[in-house]
Amino acid sequence: MTVTRFAPSPNGSLHLGHAFAAITAHDIARKRGGRFLLRIEDIDGARSRPELADEFRRDLEWLGLEWEEVPAQSTRLESYEEAARELLHAELLYPCTCTRAEIEALEPRMGPEGMIYPGTCRGMQVDPEKSAALRLDVDQAMARVGKLFWEDELAGRLVANLREGGDVVIVRKDAPASYHLAATLDDAADGVTLVTRGQDLFPATHVHRVLQALLGLPVPTWHHHGLLFDPTGQKLAKRRHSASLAHRRQAGEDGVLLAEQLRLHRFPSGISLVNA
Ligand code: GLU
Ligand code: ZN
């Protein structure tokens, strides 16, 4: 059975891009007689605003969607810690005390997700007094898993390649997991068979595929959909309140009608769908 999910982070209001993502996941599940899950990704304690989870539920209801909600990430911290211990024992993680500013000062290469960590702390003794993140030793990990493939419904079969993104953070300084670890474990625990999300997360999927292999997790299929861009050519972001679904809902707009328009790829006021 097809199981899809929408997994928003409660750090800002949802916008049309999220509506498009949620509708995509919802409609695929409905069409295939499957299940559509909602998971609140509140691993980021400092930036998460609990009241937004309720706003998200009201937004989805307003769009006319039905879902099953699975436990939020903040209730699953033990499973993240356990997996991180496993990777640590397998000598695939190393502590990194670098701050963002320190990494910036080294003028690192830029990758699809921003700065690529230049590996400063790899193989080093770090100061135990400093707080440390745990990073994946990508070369080790790739050697361990060998050649891996993953399947995207739109892009086809891809070879997992971590080298472009560098040694990604697996355990954050301020949380027991990064997005990569948490989302990968949760998708497995929730029985997600088709991970739908925007094409901006293509690079993350390479990481997730390797984590699945290292942790012996089931491998879903992916469906990376196009992204919505505003009239200035920027990807829609959570910053502008006036563009939020909550704002539209509170202004009395018909959400079910909006959802229908989005399904037909009829986007409001200069917004366009861009496929990679
Ligand atoms: N919490 C992530 C976000 O809001 C979800 C990404 C994903 O679907 O894996 O961007
Ligand atoms: Zn470091």
Domains of the chain: residue spans and CATH? 3-74+226-274 (3.40.50.620), 77-171 (3.90.800.10)
11 confidence band (pLDDT: 50, 70, 90): very high
Which segments of 10-99 does DSSP mark as H helices, in order? 16-31, 50-62, 77-89
CA-to-CA distance for 218 and 1, rounded, in angstroms? 14
Low-confidence winner among 71-75, 108-112, 205-209 (lowest mean pLDDT) = 108-112
User: For 118-172, what is each residue's pLDDT tens digit?
Assistant: 999 999 999 989 999 999 999 999 999 999 999 999 999 999 998 778 999 999 9
Ligand 2 centroid–CA 138 distance in Å is: 14
Which ligand sits closest to the CA of 135? 2
Rounded distance, CA 3 to CA 70, Å?
A: 12
At 167-187, the pLDDT tens digits run 999 999 999 999 999 999 999
Digit-coded pLDDT (tens) for 227-276: 999 888 888 877 766 689 999 999 999 999 999 999 999 998 789 999 87
Average pLDDT, the chain: 94
pLDDT band of residue 113 (cuts 50, 70, 90) is confident
* % of the chain at pLDDT higher than 70: 98
Helix H or strand E encompassing 144 = helix 138-145
38 lines ligand 1 (CB under 6 A): no
* CA 176 to ligand 2 center in whole angstroms: 17
| Ligand 1 pocket member 9 (CB < 6 A) | yes
Residue 205 Cα to ligand 1 midpoint, Å, equals 11
Task: Report the nearest atom of ligand 1 relative to the CA of 41.
Answer: 1
Q: For residue 111, is pLDDT > 90?
A: no
7 pocket-lining for ligand 1 (C-beta < 6 Å): yes
Across the beta sheet with 3-6, the strand order is 3-6, 35-38, 68-69
| Tokens describing residue 255 | 């959400």
Confidence bin at 36 (pLDDT 50/70/90) = very high
- Do the strands 3-6 and 35-38 form a parallel or antiparallel pair, or are they unpaired? parallel
Report the amino acid identity of residue 165: G
Let me know: does 44 contact 11? Beta carbons within 8 Å. Answer: yes
63 CB less than 6 Å from ligand 1? no
pLDDT, position 165: 86
Closest approach atom of ligand 1 to CA 183: 9
Query: Which atom of ligand 1 is closest in space to residue 8's alpha carbon?
Result: 4
Neighbour-count burial of 123, counting CB atoms closer than 10 A to its CB (0-12 exposed, 13-18 middle, 19+ buried): exposed
Q: Which of 179, 184, 206, 211 to mutate to test the pocket of ligand 1 (most atoms within 8 A of CB)?
A: 179
> pTM for this structure?
0.95
CA gap 273, 276 in Å, rounded: 10
**Position 37: which residue type?**
L
